[in-house]
Structure 1
């Protein structure tokens, strides 16, 4: 006998015939609507003949058989049942048998009756089509009973054992219940055993859906492949597409994503059957793909739908444009816009807003302004008449402010109001106020604040924070505090950011008392300090040398639920090192290690600088090696601390060795400060030739000397009385537009006045050539000789 998986069903009754048969006895209402639309047509020639008009006798016989079967338990009187069926053979047709099975109301008794009929000489009543429909009735009974899933599974095995193929109705019943229970293995068995002619679209959809939901991707794809074949009996429909596209959206998470080839292939194959995602689902799909880092797949998906003529509108394109903008892929953004135009997809204000936004973020503000002009006109050459909205203008105003073009931003805000009828809102004013504050134009920001209120636009805490922060950063701390208290009295309350700006400003000017007052005020008005506020206070107290207060704030920080981070520990370490409390500094380091907080390069630089200042070079070198072993790269600050320490200790040879190591080993280029430290030390040791050589080394490496460099050299040259070299350097200083300071003038005035060279000093002050002969640099092509125009730049006009 064929196994369940090998069995091939024969053709069965047509849907119309079966419904006609069942409606005679009022049984069609027992099928849920889902089953009815899943029923498919079969060959009507296989339908058992309808009952004759002698319905009264037939109904009586059916009633007698049903009552007899219901009254019996396991021991049936086979003879009695046989006599009853034989005596009514003329009216007891296969449809009457189906009535008996349905009216028994018990799938177990119905199955037993079916099996009894098969063994008896009355088996002629059960032809193969009739047997299939008998099993359909039994499946229906079982689906309404307790443990129906187990019973349905067992009936599938039994029907196979009897060689009875499934009808479309039987398949509908089991697919419905197995699908709801996510019994995907059983669903696949039903699909595999079902005759291909009965695999209709709705039934296949009912199998594919739970397979996809259970992440049985390959099994679902196998059924979809059958549906997508050119001559398929079950071609996909919109419901198929809905299932697939919803799965795309739900499965785009780690471990549940279809690969790129599968997604594009399905979209293309479904498109060949005229099935496309609607605009909303396509937009959701593109957004989710991009959000998951699959922008290329989103690009291919959109273009696959475009290529096949699917419904593509501006929202789907906007979704892709948004993420292309985030990666600054302007080339593909322009391509999408060109394709939209070619396909007649009308861009909307959001489309242009996206392009303007990312152009501004890339500081390509002029191009963004060109986009605005194209929006506002329809000229037949690519311009699209779309009215920009307030968001568009605010984006451009922000972009202009961020590149320092505040006046143009203000003009655009006026144009927005006068030409387009949009009044500036709070965002507009906040953007302008912040832009002028960052440019240091605090008075203009205050004017805008006053104008904002005059026009009835309510300022918010962002407005307040921009002005307070701008005043603080440009040295107007008292004005910031006064302004803050003024707006507070009018009902506009600050937040943590406001207090942080003020506290940081007062800490920076070493007014710790006022900073603590603001901290206390902050807590009293209900603003919760964040870690930045605590760090600001810890750093301020540490710089001021008030370590006890710094530790007190650190304790409050921990009580508030914040953990000290590397920045906070570095601030405390710096304060301890300035006080030369190295023992406590080491204790703090051990505390960091216990709490699992790794030191960073700043931590190492603080300690190396402290040890170098204390001339503890052995430990400083050991710490440098540990810094490297911990994966940190020494910076110019690290080497500068060691060089400065060796120079103070008079060990210039070791200091010069470190400079050479920077070039040959660490590849960290020395800066002007390092050169100045070495040059000053060499000049103090009267090694002026070595200092001049080091200055030439600066020139070769492109490190410009500053006034401090020249001052050190002038002092050394004065000791040696090397006038010619001094005149040469005075000319070079003018050529570089390097302004002399009071130390320069003090050294040169004392020296040159004593030897009667005040005329040269006067020429130097006025930016004229000092050397008596043609400029040595012009003869030798000195790379520091920028241009003759530099001679008159940055002149000092009086001594």
Structure 2
């Protein structure tokens, strides 16, 4: 039969009225439905085992000559007897011979079609068990055999064929079997098989047409639990090419099932609620749960828990409280997971006091009608929450309560939470005491315990202690992981101990612990800062070999380090590599190059780079102009530097910062233009730019050259007023100058923080 013709008749056949009561089919089971119609028992004169024995021990050509077999045929045998006999013949070939023998020589074969149907059903069953390969092909041959001989299919035979063809994605054959089945024999379970075949054959549109007919209010084949299982399984497990259902469509479809009194079981409902919530559709999950309850479905705690988790991720505590109240109203008892979800999300949002209130409610059986005993996981969640908000002392008390009141033994997670809390608070000694207590309690520390303590010790400057502790843990068999080495390598890079960082990097590789991006980035930045550009480039190459791409910060550090070492060709190559990796230069990249070429006096190149910077959408900033001003000052072109400075303040609206003022004041003083330098200091005050010690040191040097003592005293008073402390350079300039002119008392007053203009000489 052509597939188009099969489809054409499909919906018409679905709409045919049922003429009698049809018993249910066990969907997808290998058992046979023997409850179609009451059948008379077999004659007592012929026991089934006796007939089976005769058929097995007698050649099929001699069956007609056997008087007992002939008499058996004329009894006539019941369809149930024929089914049992055919099942026990041992082979499809023998069963087919018996079928032909019965059809040819028994008068009941024509008067009772069920006899042939049941016999053929047994043949199909035999073939199913007998064939080891191409079972669908063999069954299709038998189906064609029955069809050619106009043998009506029993409902179980049709079920067997459709199930087999459906799994083999033989859609056309499945529809053909359905069409051959007598219309009175069709029921919801058979239509479910057809629906499953259509979905398995990725014939989604026709499948939904069938489903739509089933979901109509006056449907002859209303859905059942198997129907919804088929639909959800198809949606969940298969990629429906060209048909992606939105969450809204799925919810609408499920409500139609609910209207037929078909509700989701706890497993399916929980999975769907979870999926909706993780897709950011908590509102739809909320509506679906309430639709199911409104239409009479029972919702269990696990489905409520799934929705609570979704609402918790969205920090919607108002709805979480409402849902908890609804559980109470619907007499759905919350379990420890319910409270755990609520408490966990409250702790994640630092609402620990509210979490403690929920925790206290768990034991109030008289008021809330339920008593839920907290477990270790719940205690750990609360302890972790308390530690994260700096209440580690309360966390420690809760651990003792957990031990004394409930008899729970703190585990590794419990101690890890507390150790982390005390480490973050800088209480390293308390953390180590907890670690010792952990060992006394025979709680085995893990790599997280070690990493937490290492990070705490390194963060608060106890690097040597951290390395000793790491060595002790290694001796006891606890090996470090990528986080361990990342903490240590980053720490040594931050204190410029690059050799130790490199040693740990090599140890990491020897221990087959693959470095992550953070390790590579830390090493590259540290090596660049230490001006070890060759080593930094080598680490960058290793990162690329490991499949870790560098970020813009690493590229900028490498380019900057190469420029500082006057390796401009290598810097250009690094810039090219960066662009080939799909990373565009940023403002920092351009500023580095502008600074390099400006300092080399190549102002034309620097201007060209600035133009490209602007073309790429980056406006020059205070660093850009500072680099140009500094370069012009170094080149002795103070006029051009001042021109850029004045242009910054007026035309381009980039306010100069302290660094730029310091460069100009220092250059003006060295050029014996002290008045102009003092004028810039006044401008700094007017524009709210705070001078620093370098600003004043540059002025003191210029004033010393001119021996402007009174002006120096004024500047000293301004320095004191601005709470800017002198440094060793300040003292190197002022001490010999003021000592030579007999103003040591003013110098002493200045150092002590007093105004020198009011002190006596």
Q: TM-score scaled by structure 2?
A: 0.72
Q: How does 1:304-323 map to 2 (within 5 A)?
A: 304-323=291-310
Deviation at 1:130, TM superposition (A): 7.0
Deviation at 1:291, TM superposition (A): 3.8
* Match of residue 403 from structure 1: 389
Distance 2:490 2:117 in 1: 84
* Match of residue 791 from structure 1: none
Asked if 2 retains the 8 angstrom alpha-carbon contact of 1:249 and 1:288, the reply is no
Match 2:550 to one of 565, 568, 583: 565
Establish whether residue 37 from structure 1 lines up as the match of residue 33 from structure 2.
yes
Distance 1:449 1:169 in 2: 68
Q: How does 1:244-643 map to 2 (within 5 A)?
A: 244-251=231-238, 257-378=244-365, 380=367, 385-525=371-511, 527-554=513-540, 561-562=546-547, 565-566=550-551, 568-593=554-579, 599=585, 602-627=588-613, 641=627
Match 1:680 to one of 644, 662, 669: 662
- Structure 1 residues 295 and 646 mapped into 2: Cα distance closer, same or farther (>3 Å)? farther
**Tell me, what secondary structure is at the counterpart of 1:742?**
coil
Distance 2:204 2:610 in 1: 56
Distance 1:391 1:40 in 2: 54
Which deviates the most, 709-718 or 291-300?
709-718
Asked if 2 retains the 8 angstrom alpha-carbon contact of 1:107 and 1:142, the reply is no
Distance 1:726 1:190 in 2: 104
Distance 1:711 1:687 in 2: 10
Establish whether residue 652 from structure 1 lines up as the match of residue 637 from structure 2.
no
Q: How many residues in Structure 1 have an aligned counterpart in Structure 2? A: 688
Distance 2:120 2:173 in 1: 18
Residue deviations 1:355-382 (CA, integer Å, cap 9, x gap): 22222222333333333333344563x6
Asked if 2 retains the 8 angstrom alpha-carbon contact of 1:676 and 1:709, the reply is no
State the Cα RMSD in Å: 5.6
Q: TM-score scaled by structure 1?
A: 0.69
Which deviates the most, 267-276 or 608-617?
608-617
Q: How does 1:189-204 map to 2 (within 5 A)?
A: 191=178, 197-204=184-191
- Structure 1 residues 516 and 762 mapped into 2: Cα distance closer, same or farther (>3 Å)? closer
**Tell me, what secondary structure is at the counterpart of 1:395?**
helix
Deviation at 1:548, TM superposition (A): 3.5
Establish whether residue 234 from structure 1 lines up as the match of residue 221 from structure 2.
yes
Asked if 1 retains the 8 angstrom alpha-carbon contact of 2:684 and 2:690, the reply is no
- Structure 1 residues 644 and 448 mapped into 2: Cα distance closer, same or farther (>3 Å)? farther
Deviation at 1:195, TM superposition (A): 6.5
Distance 2:318 2:491 in 1: 44
Asked if 1 retains the 8 angstrom alpha-carbon contact of 2:662 and 2:694, the reply is yes
Asked if 1 retains the 8 angstrom alpha-carbon contact of 2:590 and 2:613, the reply is yes
Structure 2 portions without partners, runs of 5+? 47-59, 63-73, 128-134, 669-675
Distance 2:490 2:353 in 1: 36
Distance 1:727 1:742 in 2: 9
* Match of residue 70 from structure 2: none
- Structure 1 residues 425 and 647 mapped into 2: Cα distance closer, same or farther (>3 Å)? farther
Asked if 1 retains the 8 angstrom alpha-carbon contact of 2:384 and 2:417, the reply is yes
Q: How does 1:142-153 map to 2 (within 5 A)?
A: 147-148=137-138, 150-151=140-141
Distance 2:338 2:556 in 1: 48
Deviation at 1:200, TM superposition (A): 0.8
Residue deviations 1:227-251 (CA, integer Å, cap 9, x gap): 3344444333333333233334324
Deviation at 1:303, TM superposition (A): 2.7
* Match of residue 178 from structure 1: 165
- Structure 1 residues 257 and 520 mapped into 2: Cα distance closer, same or farther (>3 Å)? same
Distance 2:34 2:612 in 1: 75
Distance 1:656 1:533 in 2: 44
- Structure 1 residues 279 and 167 mapped into 2: Cα distance closer, same or farther (>3 Å)? closer
Match 1:217 to one of 204, 225, 230: 204
* Match of residue 740 from structure 1: 724
Distance 1:384 1:705 in 2: 65
Deviation at 1:526, TM superposition (A): 5.1
Structure 1 portions without partners, runs of 5+? 17-31, 56-68, 72-90, 117-123, 664-668, 699-703, 773-799
Distance 1:593 1:95 in 2: 85
Which deviates the most, 687-696 or 718-727?
718-727
Deviation at 1:325, TM superposition (A): 2.3
Which deviates the most, 175-184 or 140-149?
140-149
Asked if 2 retains the 8 angstrom alpha-carbon contact of 1:688 and 1:713, the reply is no
Which deviates the most, 720-729 or 425-434?
720-729
Distance 1:166 1:408 in 2: 75
Distance 2:725 2:571 in 1: 39
Q: How does 1:154-165 map to 2 (within 5 A)?
A: none
Distance 2:425 2:447 in 1: 20
